[in-house]
Chain A
Amino acid sequence: MAEARVATPLKRRAGMGAGSARPDLASVARRLTPFIVLALTVAIASSQVPNFLTVSNLSNVARQSSFIALLVLGQSFVLIYGGFDLSVGSLFALAGVLAAYGSHVAWPLAFVLPLAAGLVSGAVNGHLIGTVKMAPFIVTLAELLGYSGLALAITNQGNVINVHGGTFFTTFSSGNVLGVDDVTLVMVVVFAIGAVVLNRTRYGAALFAVGGNEDSARMLGVPVRRVVFITYMLSGALAAFSGALFAGFSASGQPTVGTGYELQSIAAAVVGGCALTGGVGTVSGPLAGALVLGVIQDFVNLDGHLNDYTQNIVYGVFIVVVVVLQKTLLSRQQANREARAVDLVGPQASGAVPA
């Protein structure tokens, strides 16, 4: 029995030398897809619009993408866990309104109030989804309705609240360092921290474990509830922080801003390689995904032929095509991994888990 197991891989390795190069190819292709897509969209945009590839326009794209990019990072963590966060869009708006109110009292409150709201929202999500085991979709959907209602209610049915200017809050969110916008820098720094958290911390490893198989993770002693709790707190805090920044940047708290951000952020994260089934994802891919959406938007603005309606058609078709591509590559990668598992363990063992 033991001899057979040792013998099988050797035989298979020798026989399938050409095939063993395939798994790496599929996984590399899947990891590179977001960046290839980004490069393609930039190439198409710059070939159609003459002044697309200028420093001022590109920094424009980066600045405009940075607000939703922060949401995308939080959403990616939630997707790696295997959940959704539909509340981020209206939380973005609520946070902006709170920041605007806070800025009139004292500028630190413009950061503290929204962040507190984001953390509370995340804690509620984390409790209801992680501990009570309610469906993430419906919980965060209800919050989407609730927060947008709340944002409208505290602004007297949709008034725009001015931000008190001339403080660190406004100079920070609309300023720049050596020509690079502060919000772009914030995006870069936050994503760098996100990469470290996901790849180099115990929490990051636990997140992948829980997303891959929650029951197995629990049996291995991973504190599942705590992981879910932290994940939703992160997503809520990032959405709220982004909303506060946007309020400072636009000098107003707008209760209806951020509509559709929840779905756009899921789309960007999925284009960036996060699987909706959980356990799969990176930090750099979703960043590329957010930039892709930003590039398309900028392209539509600059190019005269397209309008908002056709932009939506492009978005929709684009998302489905990229996801189909990702899905194909992912299933090929998994098929290859299984083939390798057959090589190492023997056909019977892996045959027990059909694809």
Chain B
Amino acid sequence: MMSRRVAGDGLVTGPPSASGPASGGVVTGADKDMSTELSGTPGPQKPTSTGAAKGNWRTGPWTDLLREYGVYIFLVGLVVYDVVATQGFTSVAAFRSLAVEAAPLVLVAAGQALAIGTRGIDLSVGSNMALSSAVLPLLFGFSVSQSTEQRSAALAIAGALAVTTAAGLLSGAVIAFLDVQPLIVTLGMQLALRGLAESLTSGNQIMMNDGTLQRLATGRVLGVPNMAIVALLAAAICGVVLRYTTFGRRVISIGGNPRASYISGVPVRSSLLVVYALSGLLAGVAGLLSSAYLGASDPGDIGQLYELLAIAAVVLGGTPLSGGRVTMLGTVAGALVLQLLSNTFVSHNLQPTTATMVEAVIIVAAVYFQKRRGN
């Protein structure tokens, strides 16, 4: 879907002297706000292509290719490397476990991509996962001493998701109506929700032996693990919503230029509210999956560092932090890259710390190539 636009860009851009540096700077500024559409949508595509070409005097088609496809190239490279060099990687079981392990990160990253698309950020997603995990045993009726459930799974799951959605809604309300920076609001929420989650279970791990959760964690449909289906379905819905619905266009428009969106009648506040509520909901589902996979509620550990990993996945995927442009497919690929990297390191007996350092370098390199485009 991105291919047409990239190819166009590459052809039109041509040599670096396509337009003068003097005008280039100015056009880049305007272009940043203009190129706010989802890549590949037919409507506003043409004007952007030429605009991008003008502002794009600094780089050639190769850097563009790397920028747009970097994450996919990297993912394929990593898979090829694993097929050749990693023992037992080609087994179906290995793919299944990768899909299962990546599922929570994919979900959280999808919500994060929405928030980043509006030029915001959601640092509370990791803690929101923990909150979802902490609420589950309460509603099931599990406790440290009580290991058989009292109530139905549907109710417990719905309750947990309602709580995390409400938490997201609260972040969104403060951001939208009190006009406070998303970073600091969700940072406060990160601390508060983690504290709330841990005090709900007094910091304990609570085992949950429930049939529904077990089916969720280990079941498969046509050989595909349920957790992977949930994650991919959610990401696909987010992608479709972003591209084909009014709400999606509003998200992109707000990220491109909040002020202009407001003036042209976009309901900025209610859209932001929905975005952060959705991010909360997706984090809740991620927490649910993590708890189901673990077979326990562990609010002290679940979701730790996920906010940062999710941001890294979104940025790796090609969504700029400046908002106004979101690629959901890239985000999923970014999450898979991060998960696959850590799996690869584990299977080669490298220390997790080495993995962290390599991840850090890769993230910086990815953003470096994005920046080379000159915006």
A316, B308: Cβ atoms closer than 8 Å:
no
1/0 contact trace for A292-328 toward B, CB 8 Å?
0000000000000001111111111111100110011
Give the docked Cα–Cα distance between A208 and B185 (Å): 24
The answer, among B121, B189, B259, B320, for a CB contact under 8 Å with A316, is B189
1/0 contact trace for B186-199 toward A, CB 8 Å?
01111111111011
Give the docked Cα–Cα distance between A149 and B342 (Å): 13
Give the docked Cα–Cα distance between A316 and B181 (Å): 15
Q: Does B180 interact with chain A (Cβ within 8 Å)?
A: yes
The answer, among B178, B351, B361, for a CB contact under 8 Å with A146, is B361
Q: Does B205 interact with chain A (Cβ within 8 Å)?
A: no
The answer, among B174, B184, B199, B357, for a CB contact under 8 Å with A145, is B357
Q: Does B155 interact with chain A (Cβ within 8 Å)?
A: no
A316, B367: Cβ atoms closer than 8 Å:
no
What's the dominant secondary structure at chain A's contact region? Answer: helix
A145, B359: Cβ atoms closer than 8 Å:
yes
Q: Please, which residues of chain A bring their CB within 8 A of the CB of B123? A: 263
Q: Please, which residues of chain A bring their CB within 8 A of the CB of B181? A: 276-277, 323
A313, B196: Cβ atoms closer than 8 Å:
yes
A233-249: which have CB < 8 Å to B?
none
Q: Please, which residues of chain B bring their CB within 8 A of the CB of A354? A: 259
How many chain B residues touch A (CB < 8 A): the figure is 46
B174, A146: Cβ atoms closer than 8 Å:
no
B232-248: which have CB < 8 Å to A?
none
Min Cβ gap B75→A in Å is: 19
Min Cβ gap A299→B in Å is: 15
Q: Does A134 interact with chain B (Cβ within 8 Å)?
A: yes
Give the docked Cα–Cα distance between A311 and B194 (Å): 10
B298-333: which have CB < 8 Å to A?
308, 311-312, 315, 320-322
A315, B191: Cβ atoms closer than 8 Å:
yes
The answer, among B183, B192, B367, for a CB contact under 8 Å with A312, is B192
B312, A276: Cβ atoms closer than 8 Å:
no
Q: Please, which residues of chain A bring their CB within 8 A of the CB of B190? A: 263, 316
B368, A153: Cβ atoms closer than 8 Å:
no
B364, A142: Cβ atoms closer than 8 Å:
yes
A139, B364: Cβ atoms closer than 8 Å:
yes
A315, B192: Cβ atoms closer than 8 Å:
yes
B354, A153: Cβ atoms closer than 8 Å:
yes
Q: Does A132 interact with chain B (Cβ within 8 Å)?
A: yes
Min Cβ gap B359→A in Å is: 6
Q: Does A95 interact with chain B (Cβ within 8 Å)?
A: no
Give the docked Cα–Cα distance between A354 and B259 (Å): 10
The answer, among B184, B196, B360, for a CB contact under 8 Å with A142, is B360
1/0 contact trace for A149-165 toward B, CB 8 Å?
11011000100000000
B311, A141: Cβ atoms closer than 8 Å:
yes
B203, A142: Cβ atoms closer than 8 Å:
no
A267, B356: Cβ atoms closer than 8 Å:
no
B364, A309: Cβ atoms closer than 8 Å:
no
A137, B321: Cβ atoms closer than 8 Å:
yes
B353, A153: Cβ atoms closer than 8 Å:
yes
Q: Please, which residues of chain B bring their CB within 8 A of the CB of A331? A: 179
B371, A134: Cβ atoms closer than 8 Å:
yes
Give the docked Cα–Cα distance between A113 and B371 (Å): 32
The answer, among B203, B353, B363, for a CB contact under 8 Å with A138, is B363
Give the docked Cα–Cα distance between A79 and B336 (Å): 33
Min Cβ gap B351→A in Å is: 6
Q: Does A44 interact with chain B (Cβ within 8 Å)?
A: no
B193, A316: Cβ atoms closer than 8 Å:
yes
B321, A135: Cβ atoms closer than 8 Å:
yes
Q: Please, which residues of chain B bring their CB within 8 A of the CB of A141? A: 308, 311-312, 363
1/0 contact trace for B339-367 toward A, CB 8 Å?
00000000000010111110111011001
Q: Please, which residues of chain A bring their CB within 8 A of the CB of B356? A: 145-146, 148-149, 152
Min Cβ gap B215→A in Å is: 32
The answer, among B178, B187, B194, B359, for a CB contact under 8 Å with A327, is B178
Q: Please, which residues of chain B bring their CB within 8 A of the CB of A150? A: 353, 357
Q: Please, which residues of chain B bring their CB within 8 A of the CB of A84? A: 183
The answer, among A137, A308, A324, for a CB contact under 8 Å with B180, is A324
Q: Does A88 interact with chain B (Cβ within 8 Å)?
A: no
B360, A133: Cβ atoms closer than 8 Å:
no
A327, B357: Cβ atoms closer than 8 Å:
no
Known: A134-B367, A149-B360, A276-B184. A309 touches B199 (CB 8 A): yes
A146, B360: Cβ atoms closer than 8 Å:
yes
1/0 contact trace for B275-300 toward A, CB 8 Å?
00000000000000000000000000
Q: Please, which residues of chain B bring their CB within 8 A of the CB of A309? A: 194-196, 198-199, 202-203
Q: Please, which residues of chain B bring their CB within 8 A of the CB of A324? A: 174, 178, 180
Give the docked Cα–Cα distance between A267 and B320 (Å): 25
Q: Please, which residues of chain B bring their CB within 8 A of the CB of A277? A: 181
Q: Please, which residues of chain A bring their CB within 8 A of the CB of B312? A: 138, 141-142
Q: Does A61 interact with chain B (Cβ within 8 Å)?
A: no
The answer, among B188, B191, B196, for a CB contact under 8 Å with A323, is B188
Known: A139-B367, A323-B180. A317 touches B308 (CB 8 A): no
Known: A319-B188, A320-B180. A145 touches B321 (CB 8 A): no
A138, B187: Cβ atoms closer than 8 Å:
no
B364, A319: Cβ atoms closer than 8 Å:
no
Min Cβ gap B322→A in Å is: 7
- Residues on B lying within 8 angstroms of A by beta carbon are 121, 123, 174, 178-181, 183-185, 187-196, 198-199, 202-203, 259, 308, 311-312, 315, 320-322, 351, 353-357, 359-361, 363-364, 367-368, 371
A276-B183, A309-B199, A324-B178 given. 13 additional CB < 8 A pairs? A128-B364, A133-B371, A141-B312, A145-B363, A146-B356, A149-B355, A152-B356, A263-B123, A311-B195, A312-B198, A316-B195, A320-B174, A327-B178
Q: List 25 A-B contacts (CB under 8 A).
A: A133-B371, A135-B322, A135-B367, A138-B315, A138-B321, A139-B364, A141-B311, A145-B359, A146-B360, A149-B360, A266-B184, A266-B187, A267-B188, A276-B184, A313-B195, A314-B195, A315-B188, A316-B193, A320-B184, A320-B189, A320-B192, A323-B188, A327-B179, A327-B180, A331-B179
- Residues on A lying within 8 angstroms of B by beta carbon are 84, 128, 132-135, 137-139, 141-146, 148-150, 152-153, 157, 263, 266-267, 270, 276-277, 307-320, 323-324, 327-328, 331, 354
